[in-house]
Every structure is written in structure tokens, then in C-alpha cells.
Structure 1
Amino acid sequence: MNTYFLIGAGMGTEAMLTQQARQAIQRADIVLSTGRLTDGLTSVRADVQTLAFSQLAQRAQDSTGTVAILLSGDTGFYSAAKSLTQKLCGSGTVEILPGISSIQLFCARFHTAYDDAVLLSLHGRSGALLAPVSYNRKVIMLTGGENKAHVLCQRLADAGLTHITVCIAENLGAETERLVSGTPEQLARETFGDLCVMMTQNDRPTDSSRALRDSDFVRGEVPMTKQEVRWLAASLLSVKPDETVYDIGAGTGSVTMELARHAVRGMVYAVECKPEAVELLHRNRTHTGCYNTRIVQAMAPDGLEQLPIPDCAFIGGSRGNMAEIVCALKRKNPHVRVLITAIALESLHEAIEALERNGFAVEISCVNVSRAKKVARYHMMTAQNPVYLIGGNL
């Protein structure tokens, strides 16, 4: 049986190796690595074999004795150590030797801690950025691939997150190390390579646990779903933190922002055709601090095809296209959850028919809300319009 050492080589420089890692590399019968790490560690072991990552596991299994595999980054944070352990444990003993991670070194360089931070890896993988930055004071992330640091800064600037501070470290531990900080707009004009760690600091994070009230929104002549209906709708949709959500016929964005506070690691797409409503959507996104929303000016179902596959959708207005919208949602995701609101009986009938025709299991509730209004020394209850909530696959 072989012995496999999965070694956290950190930034791939000799100075950043632990003594335990150095000894394991020197004593191993064979040492395997990818190209970048090999180049920086030749002074420790000159005969390191360089392979493509996809070949590491098979080459290790074909070897005999003690095999050391050098891994970049933190062996416990989005690391290849996880998959390699699964592949190698059947043919030998696997031992993981963690090293100094880029996040540890980054925090040391910027004199900060990461016990109060949300940690993300966007290196070579798609992932939500706007939601964590909106709702947390500090987010530290690994960048690279399509998500280079300057690309992420541009994304933050485009979303309107102009009040935050961004810190970026490039090539940590190397002679070409670079440390910079500034606003998203400033750093979006720079160019960064793959090996970067980035931190956002938001002194005004949005409290995602607080339900939004009608008074929290900028109002216009555009109709708005009342707060009690919004709260119930978000609960009925059972929006999970990392889901993709549509708000169709978004109006002022009152439901959009409520849903965004539930999708705290996801994204909400607000689809609205009226220019005056689109303007209010932009204003309310900034006003409520729910930046994990993207506003799409289109009349549904137009505009839906270009969007990511939804996990659930709220339909507050259809402009007469209810059947087409429901059909489009079903086509994009056969298991999508849908919630429709209606005031008129004709709209109720249209929603039921559209859902049933597309094979949804339908649930219907009618909400009657009254609010107190003070008259002299009395509080008199004033009834709001009853609202129907029609759900599919909830």
C-alpha cells in the first residue's frame, strides 16, 4: 500500500512552506505537481514531476512507495485535496499536510482578520458576488479565470456598490507581489492576473433579516404589492439562500427587494416593461441596499430566454401574457416554483388555467388584510383589497 501526502504548498514559494511540508517533499520517493508550483519549489526538490492536474491521481496510483502531491492554496478550502483523497484512499494511506494559505497571508498583509468575514472562491467558477457584499461587512474571495479581480470590481461598480472599499493582493509571497486598495471604480481600471485575493469592506451592509415595510420604498404612480402580501409571498415561495429568482411585472420592486433578502447568496431578476417603473426599481435597489438584483426592461415572456434558469418565480403582473409566461417558465425549468398574485376574479381564473394547463399542482389562498387607522382616540380597522395567492409546485 502506498502512502500519499497531499501537501498544501500555499503560494508555491519555498519561504511559505512549513517545516513538515519541506521534510515530506524531501523524503518522498516521488513528488508530483502542476507547473506553477514546480517552478517555485525546485530549490527544495529538483526532480519534481510536472503533470496536468487531471493526470495527478492516476500517476500517484501507478507509483510505489511514498508519493507527495503539491497542491496550491488551502487544503481545506475549495481544494483539490478533497477529490484526490476520494480517488487515492482505496489504494493507500492518505495524509493531508496543510500549509500557509493565501487568505492567511492576505490578512496578515492588510492587518486584518478573517474570523468576521464571509469566505468565497470565485477562482475558475461562477458564483454570486453581489449578494454577499450587500449583506456582509467583510467578504474575502479568491479570484481568477473569468472572475479576475478587475472584472469583479467592474461588476460591483455597475451594480451601484460605490460606497465600499476593495483591497486586492496579487502574487502573494512572490517578488512581484502587489497590494492595492480603493473603490470598485478605481480598481476596475487596473488589470490583475489569476493569482489574486480580494476583500470588500461594506460599512453599511443591509440587514437581510428585517422585513421591508411600505415606507421603505420610493413611491410613484406605479402600483405596489402591499407589505403583508409580500411577506407571505416570500414565505410561500420558500426562497433558499442561493437560488435564482424571477420577479415578473416587478413594478416598484417591493417584491423584488423582499425576495432578494431571502436569496442572500443568490440573485433576483426583476422583469418590468414600464420605463417609469424601471426607474423606480433602480432607485429602490439603492434605497434598500439589495444589490443582488438585476433589472431587465422587457415585457415577459420576452427577455426571459436570456436569463439563467430560475428556481422560482413571482408573477405580480403579466400584461395579458399569463399563459405564455407560465409556459416559458415551465420550459426553462420543469420543476420551477411559481406564485401569482391576483385581485380581479378574471385574473384569478387566468392564473389557475395557465398553471393547470402546464401541469402544476395548484394551491390557492385569499388574503384579507386590515390596518388600523387612528380616529380621535380610537383605532379603526380599514380593509385593504383582498388578494389571491395562486401557487404552482410550492
Structure 2
Amino acid sequence: MSRLTVAGIGPGEADYILPAVIKKMKKAHTVIAAKRILPVLKELCQDVNSEADSENNKPVFLAMGKIKDTLEQIGEILSKGQDVVMAVSGDPLMYSLYRTICNDPISESWEVDLIPGVGSLQMLGAAFGETMEEALIISVHGRAKTAGSIALAVAENPKVFFLCSKEQGPAWLSQIMLDYHMDHVTVCAGANLSYEDELLESGTPEEMVQKEFPSLCVAMIKNPEPHQIVRPCFLSDEDFERDKTPMTKEEIRVLILHKMKLHPDDVVWDIGAGTGSVSIECARQVPFGTVHSVERNETAVKLIYKNKEKFSADNLFIYEGDAAKTACTLPEPDKVFIGGSGKELSQILEIIAAFPKKIKVVISAVTIETIAEANELLGKYDTDFDVIQATVGRGRKIGSYHIMDTNNPVMIFTAHI
């Protein structure tokens, strides 16, 4: 049966292309690769006719086009019982076309082999004499990464390797280190590895933020003091500036935060923030993320600002205004808490559902009307949403006796939409 071989060819220099790849190409009917690399591959296969003089023994070399067109072309060749080699830069096991091929329905019936290659991150590590045993690998090439997620990764790991993009290169990474006061790390970067115009630089974030690199480059950040980021303990109601503005009670806040399961680099929305008690708790839990607090009541907004200043919550951003209208302007969230929606719950959930990824939403409801609405609306997005009822009673002394003062029961909904 005909087979497709996805072969890694390293950085593209002939010295880094494995003999196994060359052997496969010589036996294949068709070799597909980026246009710039075809001359090298043809040169390596020039003696293919040493055993036979027939033109039919020569592999056909084709330049890779658009992914969809190339996959269709491969399918046609394989259907004729002919083998194909797709030569890809670096290592096909590392952010390569191999995953794209496997995920496309057109390849379901294909027989696919893999030949690994020398990846650009390996080349960078070798250039600086750094091993990869303890390294975390992140690609920002065509992938959206927040500055906080980058800083968190570096804070918790001794080495982080990056596949960079034009906009998110070594200077961008260095600026993040400076923004998060991580000037003790070392930034290393490389481009055109193994070629005559190879570019290698390393230095402090302050030094590397001034350096310019080509759009296709790789970087490594070394942290001599990695440590796990520990979330702070919860606050008490008495810790907040609150005046007479309603506030989510501390026991309920603990349940809400538990349901949200925040990660240190999450982007969080707090809709109907009140005094900002949940916003502040979230901001403390996501030191490498951001919290976006929306509240329409002017008095409450002033209290949120006071609490932001009191707890030095620099990653908390406050918006005064209509919930649904404001939500349209906020960055894509990872988690959303809705404590008050001003009769706009339906619109807010529609805005959240429009994002391409699933987002965890936690809603607290006290009134029967809001409970009924949340139950109906969430069922449209998540048939397995979770709901709990929480009632907190607090002891109060009367004479020589104690009684329990019970607050209104709160329904806490958790869903992914």
C-alpha cells in the first residue's frame, strides 16, 4: 500500500538531513517541500539513477502550496499506489504540519510514517550549551499568548524555549520580563541557525529588548530562581471598604472562587461587581492574569477603586457602565463571574458564547426570577451545568444564649459556554 512519509529535514542545511530521509526520497514517487529547500533535496537525490537509467525512477519534486491544495494533491498520488515524502523544516513532532495532516479528514485512510529531524529549539540549545531536560516549550507563532501566561511560565520553570513570530519575538519576550520585574533572567535568541548568516544573541531583558531579529526565530529564557506561584489565602468581609453597598459574603466568595478554579494567568470578568470583593479575590489569585470589573452603580464603582488601591491590585481594571455594552469591549476571558446582570443575562451569555473557545461561567443568584432565568439560559449552552444552593448562618448572642442569623440562600451555577 502506498504511504506518506512526513520527514523532518532540520534547519535545511544538507549536513542536518538524515540518511534515512534521503533514502526515503530516492524511493518515493513524489517529494513535496517548501520551494526554497527543493534545490538541496534534488542535489541529495541526484544519484538516484545509479542503479537504473529509467526516467521513471526519478522522484518528482513539487513545491508545497496551500495546505488544502497540497493535501488533495497527496491524496491523488497515494490513490495511484505511489509513495510520497513531505519534507518539513525542523522536527515534524514539534509544532509541525504533521498534526494538521492527522486532523484533516482527508488523511483518515492514509498510511503515514514519520522521520524525526533536528528542531530549531535543539539547535538553539546546542548553540548555547543548554540541555532541554527541564525545559518548557511554548509556541507563540500563530498562537495567542497573554503577557501574563509568558511571565508565569518563566517564573515557574528554569528554562522556557519559545518558537517566535514576527510580532512576538525576543524583544517582546524581554519587555514582558521587564514589565513583570523579572530582570534577573537571561534571554537567549537565535535565527538562521546553521547558515552563514546565523544570528545568536544573549543578555539581560534590558539588553535584549533593544535587539532586532528576523520574524522566524527562536528564544530561550533561563531563570536561576524558579518557584511555584502560590495563591494567597481568602480575605474576610472586614478587610474590604464597603459602606452600605451589598457585598458577596466571604463564605459565598470562597465557594465562588472554588467553582471558578482560577489559574495564575487567567483573564477574568466580574460582571456586576458591587464593592469589588470578588474582583479583588480574583486579582490576588491571578497575579499573572487580569481581572475586568464591570459595575454600573457610581457609588459602588468608587468603592471598587478604594479596594483596588487598598490591596494594590494593579491587575484589576474597572469599568463603569452597562454590563452587556461594556462586555463587548473586554478582552477574551478564561473565566467569568456574574454577580449582577441588570436584566441583561441573556445578552451577556450571548457575548461569551460568541468566543471561539469554551469559557467557564459562574453565576450567583438570589431572587427566584434570576434563578429561573439562569437555569433556562444555561441549559441552552451546557446541558450538564452544575448548580448548588448555599445558605450561611452566623451565630449571634442574645443574653446568655446564641441563635443563628441565616442569610438568604444563594444559588451558584457553573457552566462552560
Judge same fold: TM > 0.5, yes or no: yes
Q: Does 1:117 align with 2:143?
A: no
TM-fit CA distance, 1:160: 4.9
Change in CA separation of 1:220 and 1:230 when aligned onto 2, cut-off 3 Å: closer
* Contact 2:30–2:84 (Cα < 8 Å) also in 1: yes
Q: Does 1:338 align with 2:359?
A: no
Task: Give 3-state SS (helix, strand or coil) of 1:212's partner.
Answer: coil
Render the CA deviation track for 1:213-271: whole Å, top value 9, x for unaligned.
Answer: 258xxx8857998876554322223457996532353469642245437xx9xx54332
* Aligned position for 1:307: 330
* Contact 1:133–1:202 (Cα < 8 Å) also in 2: no
Task: Give 3-state SS (helix, strand or coil) of 1:82's partner.
Answer: helix
TM-fit CA distance, 1:113: 2.2
**2:71 aligned to 53, 57, 75, which one?**
57
Unaligned ranges ≥5, structure 2: 47-59, 295-300, 354-358, 379-386, 396-403
Q: Does 1:296 align with 2:317?
A: yes
* Aligned position for 1:378: none
**1:151 aligned to 147, 156, 172, which one?**
172
* Aligned position for 1:10: 10
**TM-score, scaled to structure 2:** 0.69
Identity of matched residues, %: 23
Cα RMSD of the aligned pairs, angstroms, is: 4.0
Q: Does 1:181 align with 2:197?
A: no
Task: Give 3-state SS (helix, strand or coil) of 2:37's partner.
Answer: helix
Q: Which has the larger radius of gyration?
A: 2
Render the CA deviation track for 1:180-216: whole Å, top value 9, x for unaligned.
Answer: 22344443333322321222234454534x441258x
Q: Distance in 1 between matches of 2:212 and 2:337?
A: 39
Task: Give 3-state SS (helix, strand or coil) of 2:342's partner.
Answer: helix
Task: Give 3-state SS (helix, strand or coil) of 1:2's partner.
Answer: coil
Change in CA separation of 1:184 and 1:226 when aligned onto 2, cut-off 3 Å: farther
* Contact 1:212–1:227 (Cα < 8 Å) also in 2: no
**1:90 aligned to 100, 105, 109, which one?**
109
Q: Distance in 2 between matches of 1:167 and 1:104?
A: 13
Change in CA separation of 1:4 and 1:99 when aligned onto 2, cut-off 3 Å: same
Q: Distance in 2 between matches of 1:326 and 1:141?
A: 40
Q: Letter of the aligned partner of 1:191 in structure 2?
A: E
Q: Does 1:246 align with 2:269?
A: yes
Q: Distance in 2 between matches of 1:106 and 1:303?
A: 44
TM-fit CA distance, 1:70: 0.6
**1:48 aligned to 42, 45, 61, which one?**
61
* Contact 2:291–2:317 (Cα < 8 Å) also in 1: yes
Q: Does 1:256 align with 2:282?
A: yes
Stretch of structure 1 that moved more, 68-77 or 238-247: 238-247
TM-fit CA distance, 1:81: 1.4
Q: Letter of the aligned partner of 2:202 in structure 1?
A: S
* Contact 1:247–1:255 (Cα < 8 Å) also in 2: no
Q: Letter of the aligned partner of 2:73 in structure 1?
A: R
Q: Does 1:24 align with 2:24?
A: yes
Q: Does 1:164 align with 2:175?
A: no
* Contact 1:252–1:280 (Cα < 8 Å) also in 2: no
Q: Distance in 2 between matches of 1:246 and 1:119?
A: 28
* Contact 1:166–1:183 (Cα < 8 Å) also in 2: yes
Pairs within 5 Å for 1:198-209:
198-205=219-226, 207-208=228-229
Change in CA separation of 1:256 and 1:182 when aligned onto 2, cut-off 3 Å: farther
Render the CA deviation track for 1:311-370: whole Å, top value 9, x for unaligned.
Answer: 532356x6xxx42564553121257522449xxxxxx44xx6445435356643134689
Q: Distance in 2 between matches of 1:184 and 1:24?
A: 44
Q: Letter of the aligned partner of 1:190 in structure 2?
A: K
Unaligned ranges ≥5, structure 1: 286-293, 342-347, 371-382
Stretch of structure 1 that moved more, 132-141 or 242-251: 242-251
Q: Distance in 2 between matches of 1:260 and 1:233?
A: 15
Q: Distance in 1 between matches of 2:308 and 2:263?
A: 26
Task: Give 3-state SS (helix, strand or coil) of 1:234's partner.
Answer: helix
Task: Give 3-state SS (helix, strand or coil) of 2:202's partner.
Answer: strand
Change in CA separation of 1:369 and 1:195 when aligned onto 2, cut-off 3 Å: farther
* Contact 1:118–1:132 (Cα < 8 Å) also in 2: no
Change in CA separation of 1:133 and 1:155 when aligned onto 2, cut-off 3 Å: closer
**TM-score, scaled to structure 1:** 0.72
Q: Distance in 1 between matches of 2:224 and 2:405?
A: 38
